[in-house]
């Protein structure tokens, strides 16, 4: 029984680790989309930042330097998306898609040029990564029956970026509902003319939103390669950016809802990997591929309106133009 | 000013795509330089690899076949103002359809019956995979961009599950079906040419290329000369007007997505019936996304799509040559160029409009006083 | 009041709140404002009148910083300035109430008013300040709205009030109102005018943009007339008349009435009984609508927009299915259980000129030839099954263009490149050419120049004389009164009254449009006495 409990806790622990990049990207998506910009380039930004973080960490032996670079790269990509969507009023879906494809190509191309390892970066040592933070008395408390392992496994032992991700949720909620910037951001996604006729720049507000989104995606990418993993591997994001997008929609563009969706999707992935090769009663070998497809299926079911309505910001996807 | 500056039609359709490609190539050239190679050399290798070496043209056209199908798919959907990002998944399921037909009937039916049946199956499966997101958009308001992205992943999961499981060839490790019998194979063009007495180098180019070209004609007739096409275009431009006109908008959306999915599904016949002769994992390898680039560059018109497909076919084939000849450059370079082309022609679309409009204005307007005032 | 300010200035001119000199603005080939001059006296209500498309909205958009003028000078309160964007305009005390409200639908009134001028980084603090200001404005001007209501739940008149509050909150001393009364009943318009007079008392300068002569005469002190992008006259309202203004607006003497012989109505063509329409969000758009239309008569439906007229047209044309009730066209009965659709109704001889031609009536990117078959693309007019022959389309279009004097007569020209009047003529040509038994028409002359208006009105009368039944929905009372044989009035989804042509006058109709009148049992003479 205790063993089952431990297994369960380890799965929860894994959930948090898997969900961290999803949470960061989902919050990024909320900032963009609430301001009216469709952003399907979460995947590309995360991939590019993962590469940047790993490459710089390798060169400088500092995970922090990697993180800062990753954020910078992601913000640049976000500004590129902004240039296309806001200033040039181009198609936002296509711009996002282009960035994703670009990132796939550019990361490997530069990776091979720099490290000649087929697109990967060299393995990072423990010192060059973000290390798990053991909370005080983890071992001792961990020996307490039942609740002890919760402290030792689930709460202690995560690296800083996991906590940053959870803080990002609070940050997002606070900004959106309690600050002036948040009010303007929400307005610009619903009715940009209202903000424009109030004398506030629509473009500037949207660019700022994209910059914040860039920072969050940068952290997600850095986490993947220098905290969760030990280096960059080609296509390492493997669709996580799209799952984050799905989680944001599933969470109805609200920070709390998106957090829950990310945890759910993270849980599904954690369960799937633990069930790999395991025989499940009645079904036989666990259909891991199908479990991994559940986040996508659930999002489609939500979008089909079977689990309530998902209403995006009213003005989303429409380049803002002053009407004649 | 709300609309981008007006360009004469020939500039918009002909010049701007060229400028976009040029811009993409220039940026890629910069990247090539940064990683320490000579971009002009790389360019020459690509061109030779695409057109000059023995068999290279065949390879280029073989790639182009895929892009014509996926490009047509995106274009048809776009005429109804629908963004079909699901070409990958629809093509994948098309491969399932063709595979199932061949697996079930390849020992029973002659090629002349089997192959058209397989083609219909691939189109049919693709059509279903397109129609479901279409239905969800039409009847439940689910945004088609998101649903088609999700459906790509769902298709991949289904195919992995099937190909590693029930459809796997017995006794094999790799997730793929058994090879089909020869009457399920689409003949190679070089075989046909040789049979007719013409010399032609080996390449994967097969009869599906002809099917692709026929599909182009079919799409043109459908969109611009048929009542259904009128209804599709009307729905795309103005759902309000379509409704007013008694055009059943929901039905049109679903039909359009079905046609779009079917076209994407037909991409499978090139790979599955023409080249691999069995259904394998990942044969779509990004061609669905390239279809988006092709449709954008080709301005959603079959002629443009054929031209853009040739361009991308050349890129892919040239990219393979690049990979072969340079140790520091791989096929991912093609992804980079593709991403840049999509960026310039779709995202940064109007970046060149204004300077070009000014430039053309300067070049083409006769100089005299008082031009421009309304009479 | 004028004397004091004259003396203070030591001269013959009163202080000017706004002065515009030689303002020029073009959009591509369209020269929207040409050498426009304007002098707005401080503390006056100054009207700018002109037809749709004359350039009024462009001019005030320049003043409010939405556009930059291509040339010319702007001076505010005597100082020459540049206004690069709305923030500049607001900074100079200029506020604007737009024709289409600039309100965030799912924000509260308070949030909408605060937006952009919160006064602090935190919403809490900003909200407190804003509430105080709103209370004061309410006391001073009677502009009272519940701050915590969600804007999209407010009726249109109150939403407009929020727009005015926004402007005053930001310290506007010069208030621009762009076509404010399009969405108001005559009575609500009076209330608005009371507010404007109160503001004028307090020294606020008001610039009123409108195309309605009556409003100019009712409230303004000065009026400027725009025509085709130019200012053609500046007058003191007291010294002019509607006829003079109309002539200035158009450039020639205007027939304010159409020749109208009495109708000879024949058999019923349409009979509607207890039509109800309730949409998914629970709003009753149509409540028990019953009406009969006969051959050879024009029935006008008057009412402020948003009272169910659009929904009535949608139901009768088959676009929307009624929730209950039925209507009969010829022998066909259409109910909720046996719904129809626009295609079937067209086959039954019902034609429809929609209210919004840009959204529904034509397809802007299509050529005129293709727009000319919109709604008829499924029938066998082009004589081949699934095939649309371009030459047949072109011929069809050319014929219609000739018959309706549509310019330029180029079937291959994109529909967007025709002027508003010609676009409307395309729609009309298409619908009338099918020789319908019933023609549903919504806002036939919205955004149409006066020459085309006359043509369209004549076409409608001619059609009716040939025996067609016409249901005419329009927010322009003048149009309704000059064309209709019978006038129905809709308010809040119901038919609240019916008047024959001879009995109808604007005041009565206005009261009915506001929901007062027939159902309260007030007689005609009582209403006249009360005026």
Cβ-contact C155, C124 below 8 angstroms: no
Pick the residue from chain C with its C-alpha nearest to B226.
C387
Cβ-contact A111, A51 below 8 angstroms: yes
Region C73-91: mean pLDDT is 90
Count CB pairs under 8 A between chains A and C: 85
Q: Provide φ and ψ at A280, rounded to 5°.
A: -100, 135
Region A284-302: mean pLDDT is 84
d(CA B63, CA B271): 10
Assess whether pLDDT exceeds 80 at residue A278. no
B138 burial type by CB count under 10 A (0-12 exposed, 13-18 middle, 19+ buried): buried
Cβ-contact C114, C126 below 8 angstroms: yes
CA angle B240–B243–B248, rounded 5-degree value: 135
Judge: C115–A182 Cβ closer than 8 Å, yes or no: no
Domain locations along chain A: 2-122+142-237
Query: Do the domain assignments include residue B317?
Result: no
d(CA C134, CA C380): 63
Q: What 3-state class would DSSP assign to C209?
A: strand
Residues of B in contact with A103 (CB under 8 A): 339
Assess whether pLDDT exceeds 70 at residue B40. yes
Query: Do the domain assignments include residue B11?
Result: no
d(CA C225, CA C48): 6
Sheet holding C486-491, edge to edge: C350-353, C438-442, C469-473, C298-302, C486-491, C494-500
- Alpha-carbon distances, residue A304 vs A264, A297, C353 (angstroms): 19, 11, 35
Instruction: Find the range with the poorest average confidence among B20-24, C96-100, C126-130, C239-243.
Output: C239-243
Residue C361 is predicted with a pLDDT of 92
Pick the residue from chain B with its C-alpha nearest to C380.
B227
Q: What DSSP character marks residue C262?
A: P
- Partners of C210 in the beta sheet? C49
Assess whether pLDDT exceeds 80 at residue C60. yes
Residue C3 is predicted with a pLDDT of 42
d(CA C428, CA C444): 9
CB of C170 within 8 Å of any CB in chain A? yes
Residues of A in contact with B337 (CB under 8 A): 105
Judge: A198–C166 Cβ closer than 8 Å, yes or no: yes
Contacting chains of B (3 CB pairs or more, <8 Å) are A, C
pLDDT, one tens digit per residue, over C425-439 is: 999 999 998 889 999
Surface of A (135-174) touching B: CB under 8 A = none
Assess whether pLDDT exceeds 50 at residue B374. no
- What share of chain B in percent tops pLDDT 90? 46
Judge: C103–A191 Cβ closer than 8 Å, yes or no: yes
Chain B residues with CB within 8 Å of chain C CB: 1, 6, 225-231, 233-234, 237-238, 240-241, 243-248, 372-374
d(CA A128, CA A122): 11
Region C275-286: mean pLDDT is 82
d(CA B268, CA B122): 7
pLDDT, one tens digit per residue, over A216-250 is: 999 999 999 998 988 899 889 988 999 999 899 88
CATH homologous superfamily for the domain C268-349+436-529: P-loop containing nucleotide triphosphate hydrolases (3.40.50.300)
Assess whether pLDDT exceeds 90 at residue A292. no
Q: Is A62 left (phi over 0), alpha (psi -120 to 50) or beta?
A: beta
Judge: A102–B140 Cβ closer than 8 Å, yes or no: no
d(CA C322, CA C312): 9
Surface of C (391-450) touching A: CB under 8 A = none
Residue C522 is predicted with a pLDDT of 36
Domain locations along chain C: 268-349+436-529, 362-422
Q: Which helix (H) or strand (E) holds C35?
A: strand C30-41
CB of A312 within 8 Å of any CB in chain B? yes
Residue C253 is predicted with a pLDDT of 54
Assess whether pLDDT exceeds 80 at residue C282. no
Query: Quick one: how far is CA C293 from the chain centroid?
Result: 26
- Alpha-carbon distances, residue A121 vs A56, A118, A236 (angstroms): 10, 9, 12
Q: Considering CB atoms only, which of A178, A199, A324 is closest to C123?
A: A178
d(CA C321, CA C336): 6
Residue C381 is predicted with a pLDDT of 55
Q: Show the domain range for B224.
A: 68-294
Residue A149 is predicted with a pLDDT of 72
Q: Considering CB atoms only, which of A179, A197, A200 is closest to C123?
A: A179
Pick the residue from chain C with its C-alpha nearest to B224.
C388
pLDDT, one tens digit per residue, over A47-79 is: 999 999 999 999 988 889 999 999 999 999 999
- Higher-confidence residue of A219 and C86: namely A219
Selection from A156, A256, A285, A169 nearest residue A216 by Cα:
A169
Q: What DSSP character marks residue A104?
A: H
The confidence band for B367, taking pLDDT boundaries of 50, 70 and 90, is low
Residue C485 CB neighbours (<10 A): 21
Best mutation site among A198, A208, A309 for testing chain C: the one with the most C CBs within 10 Å? Answer: A198
Residue C516 is predicted with a pLDDT of 59
Residue C251 is predicted with a pLDDT of 65
Cβ-contact C416, C435 below 8 angstroms: no
Number of domains observed in the structure of chain B: 1
Query: Do the domain assignments include residue B72?
Result: yes
Cβ-contact C211, C51 below 8 angstroms: yes
For C221, how many CA atoms within 13 A lie in the half-sphere containing its CB?
15
CB of A198 within 8 Å of any CB in chain C? yes
Query: Do the domain assignments include residue B36?
Result: no
- Partners of C351 in the beta sheet? C439
Residue C30 CB neighbours (<10 A): 13
Query: Do the domain assignments include residue B308?
Result: no
Region C49-76: mean pLDDT is 86
Selection from B133, B87, B144 nearest residue B265 by Cα:
B87
CB of A312 within 8 Å of any CB in chain C? no
B52 contacts: CB under 8 Å, gap ≥ 6: none
- What share of chain A in percent tops pLDDT 90? 50
The b-or-e profile of C190-210 (16+ CB within 10 A means b, else e) is: eebbebbeebbeeebbbbbbb
Query: Do the domain assignments include residue B81?
Result: yes
CB of B83 within 8 Å of any CB in chain A? yes
Residue C382 is predicted with a pLDDT of 52
Best mutation site among C28, C53, C67, C86 for testing chain A: the one with the most A CBs within 10 Å? Answer: C86
Region C81-99: mean pLDDT is 89
- Higher-confidence residue of A2 and B178: namely B178
Query: Do the domain assignments include residue B88?
Result: yes
Judge: A300–B328 Cβ closer than 8 Å, yes or no: no
CB of A103 within 8 Å of any CB in chain B? yes
Sheet holding C268-278, edge to edge: C284-294, C268-278, C324-329, C332-335
Residues of B in contact with C351 (CB under 8 A): none
d(CA C466, CA C397): 23
CB of B154 within 8 Å of any CB in chain A? yes
Highest mean pLDDT among B300-314, C141-155, C170-184, C236-250: B300-314
**How close C343 gets to chain B, by Cα (Å)?**
5
Residues of A in contact with C65 (CB under 8 A): 199
- Partners of C489 in the beta sheet? C302, C497
Pairing of strands A284-285, C230-236: unpaired
C129 burial type by CB count under 10 A (0-12 exposed, 13-18 middle, 19+ buried): middle
Assess whether pLDDT exceeds 50 at residue C523. no
pLDDT, one tens digit per residue, over C390-423 is: 888 899 999 999 999 888 889 999 998 888 888 9
C8: its two tokens = 């203070």
Residue B247 is predicted with a pLDDT of 92
Lookup result for tokens 């005026």: C531
pLDDT, one tens digit per residue, over A169-227 is: 999 999 999 999 999 999 999 999 899 888 899 999 999 999 999 999 999 999 999 98
């Amino acid at each position: 029984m205790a063993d089952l409990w431990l297994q369960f806790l380890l799965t929860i622990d894994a959930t948090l680790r898997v969900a961290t990049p999803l949470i960061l990207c989902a919050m990024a998506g909320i900032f963009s989309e609430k301001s009216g910009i469709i952003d399907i380039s979460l995947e590309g930004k995360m991939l590019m930042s993962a590469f940047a973080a790993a490459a710089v960490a390798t060169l400088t032996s500092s995970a922090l330097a990697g993180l800062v670079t990753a954020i910078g790269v992601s913000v640049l990509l976000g500004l590129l998306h902004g240039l296309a969507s806001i200033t040039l009023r181009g198609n936002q879906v296509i711009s996002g898609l282009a960035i994703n494809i670009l990132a796939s190509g550019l990361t490997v191309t530069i990776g091979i040029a720099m490290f000649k390892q087929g697109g990967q970066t060299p393995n990072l040592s423990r010192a060059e990564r973000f290390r798990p933070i053991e909370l005080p008395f983890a071992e001792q408390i961990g020996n307490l029956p039942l609740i002890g392992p919760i402290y030792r496994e689930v709460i202690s032992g995560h690296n800083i970026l996991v906590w940053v991700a959870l803080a990002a949720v609070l940050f997002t909620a606070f900004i959106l509902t309690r600050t002036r910037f948040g009010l303007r951001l929400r307005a610009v996604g619903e009715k940009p003319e209202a903000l424009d006729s109030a004398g506030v720049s629509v473009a500037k507000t949207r660019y700022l939103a994209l910059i914040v989104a860039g920072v969050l995606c940068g952290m997600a990418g850095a986490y993947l390669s220098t905290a969760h993993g030990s280096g960059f591997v080609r296509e390492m994001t493997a669709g996580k950016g799209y799952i984050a997008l799905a989680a944001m929609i599933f969470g109805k563009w609200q920070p709390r809802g998106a957090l829950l969706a990310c945890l759910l999707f993270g849980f599904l992935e954690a369960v799937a990997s633990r069930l790999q090769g395991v025989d499940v009663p009645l079904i036989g070998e666990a259909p891991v591929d199908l479990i991994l497809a559940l986040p996508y299926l659930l999002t489609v079911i939500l979008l089909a309106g079977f689990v309530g309505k998902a209403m995006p910001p009213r003005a989303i996807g429409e380049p803002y133009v002053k009407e004649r | 000013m709300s609309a981008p500056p007006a360009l004469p039609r020939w500039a918009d359709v002909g010049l701007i795509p060229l400028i976009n490609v040029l811009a993409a190539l220039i940026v890629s050239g910069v990247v090539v330089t940064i990683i320490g190679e000579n971009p002009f050399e790389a360019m020459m290798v690509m061109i030779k690899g695409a057109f000059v070496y023995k068999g290279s043209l065949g390879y280029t056209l073989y790639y182009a076949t895929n892009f014509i199908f996926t490009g047509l798919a995106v274009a048809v959907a776009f005429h109804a103002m629908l963004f079909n990002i699901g070409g990958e998944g629809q093509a994948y399921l098309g491969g399932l359809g063709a595979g199932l037909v061949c697996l079930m009937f390849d020992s029973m039916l002659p090629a002349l019956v089997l192959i058209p049946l397989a083609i219909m199956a691939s189109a049919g499966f693709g059509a279903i995979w397109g129609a479901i997101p279409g239905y969800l958009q039409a009847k439940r308001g689910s945004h088609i961009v998101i649903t088609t992205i999700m459906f790509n992943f769902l298709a991949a999961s289904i195919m992995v599950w099937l190909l590693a499981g029930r459809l796997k060839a017995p006794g094999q490790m790799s997730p793929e079906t058994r090879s089909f019998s020869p009457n399920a194979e689409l003949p190679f063009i070089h075989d046909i040419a040789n049979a007719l007495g013409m010399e032609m180098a080996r390449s994967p180019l097969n009869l599906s290329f002809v099917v692709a070209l026929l599909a182009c004609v079919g799409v043109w007739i459908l969109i611009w000369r048929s009542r259904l096409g009128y209804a599709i275009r009307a729905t795309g431009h103005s759902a309000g007007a379509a409704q007013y006109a008694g055009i059943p908008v929901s039905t049109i959306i679903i039909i359009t997505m079905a046609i779009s999915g079917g076209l994407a599904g037909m991409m499978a016949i090139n790979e599955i019936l023409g080249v691999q002769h069995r259904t394998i994992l990942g044969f779509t390898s990004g061609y669905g996304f390239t279809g988006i680039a092709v449709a954008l560059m080709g301005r959603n018109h079959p002629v443009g799509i054929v031209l853009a497909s040739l361009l991308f076919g050349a890129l892919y084939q040239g990219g393979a040559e690049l990979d072969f000849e340079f140790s520091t450059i791989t096929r991912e370079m093609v992804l980079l160029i593709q991403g840049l082309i999509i960026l310039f022609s779709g995202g940064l679309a109007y970046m060149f409009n204004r300077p070009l409009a000014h430039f053309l204005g300067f070049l083409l307007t006769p100089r005299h006083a008082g031009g421009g005032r309304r009479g | 009041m004028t004397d004091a300010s004259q003396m203070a200035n030591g001269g013959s001119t009163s202080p000017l709140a706004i002065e515009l000199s030689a303002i020029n603005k073009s959009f591509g080939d369209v020269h929207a404002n040409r050498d426009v001059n304007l002098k707005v006296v401080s503390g006056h209500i100054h009207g700018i009148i002109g037809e749709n498309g004359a350039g009024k909205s462009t001019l005030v958009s320049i003043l409010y910083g939405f556009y930059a003028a291509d040339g010319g000078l702007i001076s505010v309160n005597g100082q020459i300035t540049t206004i690069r964007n709305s923030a500049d305009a607001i900074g100079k005390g200029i506020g604007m109430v737009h024709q289409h409200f600039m309100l965030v639908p799912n924000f509260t009134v308070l949030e909408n008013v605060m937006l952009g001028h919160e006064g602090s980084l935190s919403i809490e603090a900003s909200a407190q300040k804003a509430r105080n200001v709103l209370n004061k404005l309410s006391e001073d001007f009677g502009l009272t709205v519940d701050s915590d209501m969600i804007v999209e739940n407010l009726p249109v008149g109150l939403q407009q009030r929020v727009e005015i509050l926004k402007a005053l909150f930001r310290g506007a001393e010069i208030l621009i109102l762009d076509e404010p009364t399009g969405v108001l009943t005559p009575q609500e318009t009076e209330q608005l005018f009371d507010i404007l007079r109160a503001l004028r008392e307090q020294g606020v300068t008001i610039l009123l943009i409108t195309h309605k002569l009556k409003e100019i005469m009712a409230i303004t002190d000065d009026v400027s007339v725009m025509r085709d992008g130019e200012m053609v006259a500046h007058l003191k309202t007291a010294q002019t008349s509607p006829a003079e203004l109309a002539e200035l607006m158009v450039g020639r003497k205007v027939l304010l009435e159409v020749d109208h012989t009495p109708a000879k109505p024949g058999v019923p063509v349409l009979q509607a009984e207890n039509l109800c329409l309730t949409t998914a969000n629970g709003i009753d758009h149509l409540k028990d609508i019953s009406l009969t239309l006969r051959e050879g008569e024009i029935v006008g439906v008057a009412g402020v927009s948003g009272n169910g007229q659009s929904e009535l047209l949608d139901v009768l044309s088959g676009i929307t299915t009624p929730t209950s009730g039925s209507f009969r066209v010829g022998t066909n009965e259409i109910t909720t259980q046996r719904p129809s659709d626009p295609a079937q109704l067209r086959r039954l001889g019902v034609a429809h000129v929609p209210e919004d031609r840009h959204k529904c009536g034509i397809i802007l990117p299509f050529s005129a030839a293709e727009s000319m078959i919109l709604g008829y693309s499924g029938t066998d007019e082009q004589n081949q099954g699934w095939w649309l022959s371009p030459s047949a389309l072109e011929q069809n279009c050319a014929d219609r263009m000739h018959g309706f004097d549509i310019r330029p007569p180029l079937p291959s020209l994109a529909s967007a490149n025709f002027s508003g009047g010609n676009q409307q003529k395309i729609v009309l040509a298409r619908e009338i050419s099918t020789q319908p038994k019933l023609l549903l028409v919504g806002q036939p002359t919205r955004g149409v120049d006066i020459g085309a208006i006359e043509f369209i009105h004549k076409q409608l009368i001619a059609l009716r004389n040939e025996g067609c039944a016409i249901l005419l929905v329009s927010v322009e009372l003048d149009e309704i009164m000059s064309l209709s044989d019978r006038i129905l009035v809709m308010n809040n989804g119901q038919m609240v009254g019916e008047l024959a042509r001879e009995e109808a006058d604007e005041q009565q109709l206005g009261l009915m449009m506001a929901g007062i009148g027939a159902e309260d049992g007030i007689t005609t003479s009582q209403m006249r006495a009360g005026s």
